[in-house]
Amino acid sequence: MQLLILPSGQVRCVYAEAIDLAVFGRVTIRRGSRVEPDAQGQWWTDLGPVNGPVLGPFASRSQALTAEEQWLAAYWLPAIAHES
């Protein structure tokens, strides 16, 4: 689990239950994507909530969730570091 500590003292990350984030203070969680199946049973990751792409199709939900986490860690989290 990657934690990004901003100069303001805020801690940002892709949410996981690896650690209790409340130890850093008040926790705010927002949706980073939507992982949904289509009519054919293929899974898609829509990263629109963070202005990202749609990834897929994937054969399983777990593959779509892994792609979501990898994209957020590689593109969304570093972009936050450059905004501050």
- pLDDT for position 84: 55
User: What are the tokens at 51?
Assistant: 């202005």
- pLDDT for position 58: 98
Contacts for 46 with CB less than 8 Å, ≥ 6 apart: 33, 34, 35, 36, 54
Q: What is the pLDDT of residues 37-81, one digit of tens each?
A: 999 999 999 999 999 999 999 999 999 999 999 999 899 988 776
pLDDT band at 10 (very low <50, low <70, confident <90, very high): confident
pLDDT of 28 above 60:
yes
pLDDT of 8 above 90:
no
